[in-house]
Chains A and B, each alone.
Chain A
Amino acid sequence: DTGVSQNPRHKITKRGQNVTFRCDPISEHNRLYWYRQTLGQGPEFLTYFQNEAQLEKSRLLSDRFSAERPKGSFSTLEIQRTEQGDSAMYLCASTDPGQEQYNEQFFGPGTRLTVL
């Protein structure tokens, strides 16, 4: 297993366009998380899935954001009508509370979004 992967690594878009990011978690990790990190800040929780069920969404997640995990494996995060304030690093993480001793989450390398 090569860990959590995210695609694309970088995305530049114009304001108003839609973007979609993909996250492939560690195999058999049933929980998948999305975080957003802006410059100089720590990651902020956006949403998480237990298998295919979306269990929690942050109030930071506006209606323009939607996330899916249709088969309980990979996940997508879509941002509609992007705004310059959406520019950030989007991080995905996965874990299996039954396996990981300290319930640590394993992070992917992130997708850096720049909205012009």
Chain B
Amino acid sequence: DQQVKQNSPSLSVQEGRISILNCDYTNSMFDYFLWYKKYPAEGPTFLISISSIKDKNEDGRFTVFLNKSAKHLSLHIVPSQPGDSAVYFCAGAFAAGNKLTFGGGTRVLVKP
């Protein structure tokens, strides 16, 4: 039972353009969602999150959109930079401080 899915395993984008990463979930009871970035040989690093009662959250170059009716969220990175090349995971969580349920990840390659 995969509650969080990232259907695009990889994404390639030109430097300066927009990267759009998608995530679908099945459990409507998630209280909030988070995006993490992971470089090889490192642990995941928190990027941005959104409460289930919001539809948008923005932090610098990163914006997360939540469409509850479609059970879909997306992460927009604008402009994309070579240092953004990494694997991105979305995750859902039920309550404060509770366990994270991750998607399978999307590998992003930003070409100079």
Contact = CB atoms under 8 A, between A and B. Distances in A.
5 tightest CB-CB pairs across the interface, nearest first? A42-B102, A107-B43, A97-B97, A102-B49, A104-B46
Interface size, A (range) = 20 to 34
B42 A109 contact: yes
Interface string A65-97: 000000000000000000000000001010111
A7 to B, nearest CB: 13
Interface residues of B, number: 27
Interface of A: 4, 31, 33, 35, 40-45, 48, 50, 56, 91, 93, 95-97, 102-110
Contacts of B48: 102
A48 B99 contact: yes
A91 B99 contact: no
